Structure formats: C-alpha cells, structure tokens
C-alpha cells in the first residue's frame, strides 16, 4: 500500500485497501460493521459520524496482528 501511495498508483492502492479491509472484517468478527450498517438504516448521521470517528477509525482501538 505504501508504494502505491508514494507512486500515486490509485488502482493498486484501491486493490490493496480492499484486500486489507476483507482481512480486517474476517478477523474482527464484523461487529463494528454491523453497527455501522444499523446506524445507516436508522439514518442517524450524527451518531454514525461519531462512531466512525471515535471508534471505527481510531488507531488506538485497532487490533494489529502480524503475519
């Protein structure tokens, strides 16, 4: 991903990002994504934004695994 970013290869970055996200979903049990979908269904934009910013995209809460 880093090389794709540095060289501006958007297509490669998108491909790597999708693969990374698929692995993340498999490892995480997908509970966060269920919450995101439910917030979309409720049309609760403020709560959705809060959840994304404070929980889903928060690197301090992320679980990192080594391959």
Domain ranges of the chain: 2-61
Q: Which residue has the higher pLDDT, 20 or 15?
A: 15
Return mean pLDDT, the chain. Answer: 81
Tokens of 60: 């301090």
In this prediction, residue 28 carries a pLDDT of: 62
Where would I find the beta strands (DSSP E) of 20-64?
none
pLDDT band at 63, cuts 50/70/90?
A: low
Q: What is the pTM of this model?
A: 0.48
* Tokens 């995101």 belong to residue: 36
* CA triple 54-47-39, angle to 5 deg: 110
Query: Percent of the chain at pLDDT above 90?
Result: 27
Residue 25 has pLDDT above 50, yes or no: yes
């Amino acid at each position: 991903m880093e090389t794709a970013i540095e060289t501006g290869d958007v297509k490669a970055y998108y491909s790597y990002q999708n693969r990374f996200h698929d692995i993340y979903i498999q490892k995480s049990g997908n509970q966060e994504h269920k919450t995101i979908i439910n917030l979309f269904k409720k049309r609760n934009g403020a709560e959705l934004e809060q959840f994304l910013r404070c929980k889903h995209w928060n690197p301090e809460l992320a679980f990192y695994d080594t391959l």
